[in-house]
Amino acid sequence: MSEHSPDPPEGGPLLRRVRRLIVNTSMGDGPDTLHLQERLEAIERRLDGLTRQIQMMDTSEKQRSQALQDALATLEKQISRAGREQLKANSLTEAQIEQVAAILEELRTDNSRRDLEITLLREQHAAAQKTARLEVIQSILPALDGLDEALRSGQQLLKQPLTPPPATLFERMRSRAVTNQNTNPILQEALSAWLIGLTFVRQRLLDVLATEGVQPIAAQGQPFDPQLHIVMDVMPATPEFPPNTIAAELRRGYLVGNRVLRHAEVVVSSTEN
Amino acid sequence: MLTDQHKPFFSKRSIAYEVIIGIDLGTTFSATAVVRDGVPHIVPQGDERIMPSVVGFTPQGALLVGTPARNQYVLHPDRTVRM
C-alpha cells in the first residue's frame, strides 16, 4: 500500500494524515471518494485561507510590534531627553540653591556686621552724650563755687559780733568809712534768712547734679588722696589735723561715679616743713 | 562697613603687627600715640589724652604717674619729679 501513496502531501500533519487515510480506504474513484476529496479540497482551501489570515495577522502583528518598538524607541528617546533636561534642571537648581545659600550667608555676614556697627555707633552715641552732659556739668560748677563762696562770706559776716550804734557824729562818720561791721540786728537777721535761702538753692543744685551721678568729694578732715585731691598749700600739723590730713578745702571737687570730674583743691597738714 | 578705626587699641591683630608707640615727652605734658593706617591716634590714659609730665612716690612707696603725681607735688616735692 505504500507504493500507491501519492506525492508528499501539502499542508500540515493533520491533512497529511487525512489524505493518507483517504488513499488507504478508497480503492477507486467512487462517489464517496470524490465527495471526500472535494471536502478535503474545501478544507484545504479553508486552511489556506486561514493560513493567509494567520500570515496577515502575523504581518499585522509584526507591523504593530514594529510600531510599538518605534513608539518605545521614541519614548526612550523622550525619556532620555527628559532625563538630560531633568539633570540640567537639577544642576541648575543646585547651582541656584548654592547661589541663594551664598547670598544668604553674605546677607547674614552683612547683618551681623551692621549689628556690630550699630552697637558701636550706639556706644559712641552714649559716650558722646555722656561727654556732653559732663561738659555742661563742668560749666555749671563755677556757679556752684560762687554760691559756696557767697555762703562762706555770709557765714563769716554773721559770726562777727554786733557793735553798738555810734553815738556821736564822729563815730557815725567813722562807721561809714569802716566796712564789714554789723550794727543793725534786723539787717543781720535778714542776712541770715538770705543765707538760708541761698543754702536751699545750693542744695537744690547739688540734688540736680546728684541725679546725674555727680557727688562732691569729701575733703575736710579726710586723709589726703592724690587721686582725688590737689595740694594747693601745706600747713604745719596740729593735734586737730595730724600729718597728711586735709585741713582746709579751697575749692570743692566732684566725682561722677568713680571718675574725677574735678579734683578738690585742699590745704594739707604736714610735718616735713 | 567696619574699619580698623572701630577696633580697640592693642587687639590681637595689632599685637601681631608689632605695635610701635610714639611718646611725646613734653616739659609740661606728655602723650603717647600709635600710627594705624597711616593716621596717628593718641592713646588715652583713662579720660585724659595727655598727662602731666610728673612722676612720684607716695610715702607708702606707691608709684604715681601723671595727674596723681602732680597733685602731691606741693606736699611731697622731695618724692616727686617734674620735667
Q: Where are the domains of chain A?
A: 12-78, 160-212, 213-273
Residue B4 counted as domain residue: no
Report yes or no on B37 lying in a domain.
yes
| Contact between A117 and B70 using a beta-carbon 8 Å cutoff | no
- Tell me the residue type at A39: R
A259 contacts B74? CB cut-off 8 A: no
B47 to chain A: closest CA residue: A259
Query: Distance (Å, rounded) from C-alpha A239 to C-alpha A218?
Result: 20
574725677: which residue's cell? A260
- pLDDT in the model for residue A181: 55
- Cβ of A231 within 8 Å of Cβ of B71? The answer is yes
* Interface probe, candidates A130, A230, A246, chain B, greatest B C-beta count within 10 A: A230
Question: Residue A76 is placed in which grid cell?
Answer: 526612550
- At residue B15, the pLDDT reads 52
B63 close to A (CB below 8 A): no
Tell me how far apart the terminal alpha carbons of chain A are, to the nearest angstrom: 172
Angle at alpha carbon of residue A138, lines to B24 and A222, rounded to 5°: 85
**Closest residue in B to A265 (Cα–Cα):** B71
CB contact under 8 A, A268 and B76: no
pLDDT at A225: 94
Assign A182 a pLDDT band (cuts: 50, 70, 90): low
Mean local confidence (pLDDT), A2-19: 58
Query: For B73, which residue in chain A has the nearest alpha carbon?
Result: A231
Q: Residue B56's pLDDT is what?
A: 95
CA distance A149 to chain B (A): 23
Alpha-carbon gap, residue A44 to B75, rounded angstroms: 149
Closest CB from B2, B64, B74 relative to A116? B2
Q: How confident is the model at residue B7 (pLDDT cuts 50, 70, 90)?
A: low
Q: What percentage of chain A reaches a pLDDT higher than 90?
A: 47
For residue A225, what is its C-alpha cell? 588722696
pTM reported for the whole predicted model: 0.58
Asked if B72's CB is within 8 angstroms of A234's CB, the reply is no
pLDDT in tens, B8-64: 555 555 555 678 889 999 999 999 999 888 888 999 887 789 999 999 999 999 999
| C-alpha cell, A167 | 553815738
Contact A181, A162 (CB under 8 A): no
**Is residue B50 in some structural domain?**
yes
Residue B72 lies in a domain: yes
Mean pLDDT of A53-66: 88
Domain tally, chain B: 1
The answer to whether the CB atoms of B75 and A227 lie below 8 A apart is no
A220 near A249, Cβ under 8 Å? Answer: yes
Task: Specify if B33 maps to a domain.
Answer: yes
Greater model confidence, A233 or A161: A233
Please judge whether B72 and A233 are an interchain contact, meaning their C-beta atoms are less than 8 angstroms apart: no
Question: Residue A8 — pLDDT band, cuts 50, 70, 90?
Answer: very low
Say if B1 falls within a structural domain. Answer: no
Closest residue in B to A234 (Cα–Cα): B75
Mean pLDDT of chain A: 84
Q: How far apart are CA A166 and CA A169, in angstroms?
A: 8
State the pLDDT confidence band at A44, using cuts at 50, 70 and 90.
Answer: confident
Any bridge partners for residue A249, and if so which? Answer: A266
* A144-160 average pLDDT score: 87
Those residues with Cβ within 8 angstroms of residue B71's Cβ, 6 or more apart along the chain or in another chain: A226, A227, A229, A230, A231, A263
CATH code at B74?
Answer: 3.30.420.40
Domain span at B14:
9-82
Check A230 against B71: CB less than 8 A apart: yes
pLDDT in tens, A188-217: 888 889 999 999 999 999 998 899 889 999
Amino acid B12: pLDDT: 53
Among B2, B58, B74, beta carbon nearest to A232: B74
Diameter over CA atoms, chain A: 205
Higher pLDDT, A184 or A228: A228
Q: Is B47 on the interface with A (CB under 8 A)?
A: yes
pLDDT band at A56 (very low <50, low <70, confident <90, very high): confident
Q: Where would I find the beta strands (DSSP E) of B1-83? A: 21-25, 29-36, 39-42, 51-52, 54-57, 63-65, 80-82
Instruction: Inspect the interface and report whether the beta carbons of B75 and A259 lie closer than 8 Å.
Output: no
Contact B69, A226 (CB under 8 A): yes
pLDDT at A166 over 60: yes
Sheet holding A229-236, edge to edge: A229-236, A264-270, A246-251
Q: Is residue B2 part of a domain?
A: no
Contact predicate A265/A228, CB 8 Å: no
Terminal Cα-to-Cα distance of chain B (whole angstroms): 44
Average the pLDDT over A252-264 and give the result.
90
Per residue, the 3-state secondary structure of A87-133, as one string, reads HHHHHHHHHHHHHHHHHHHHHHHHHHHHHHHHHHHHHHHHHHHHHHH
Please tell me whether residue B14 adopts helix, strand or coil conformation.
helix
The set of residues, in sequence order, having a beta carbon less than 8 Å from that of A175 and lying 6+ positions away, is A166, A181, A183
CB burial string A129-158: b at 16+ within 10 A, e below:
eeeeebeebeeebeebeebbeebeebeeee
- B75 and A231: CB-CB below 8 Å? yes
Among the partner-chain residues A224, A227, A259, the one whose CB lies closest to the CB of B75 is A224
How far, in Å, CA of A72 to CA of A65, rounded?
10
User: By mean pLDDT, which of A90-94, A247-251, B3-7 is the weakest?
Assistant: B3-7
One-letter amino acid of A245 = T
Among candidate residues A256, A170, A168, A266, the one with its CA nearest the CA of residue A219:
A266
Query: Using one digit for the tens of pLDDT, what is the confidence trace for A72-109?
Result: 999 999 999 999 999 999 999 999 999 999 999 999 99
Q: Taking 70 as the threshold, does the pLDDT of residue A27 lie above it?
A: no
Q: Is residue B54 part of a domain?
A: yes
User: Does position A4 have pLDDT exceeding 50, yes or no?
Assistant: no
Please state which CATH number belongs to domain A213-273: 2.30.22.10
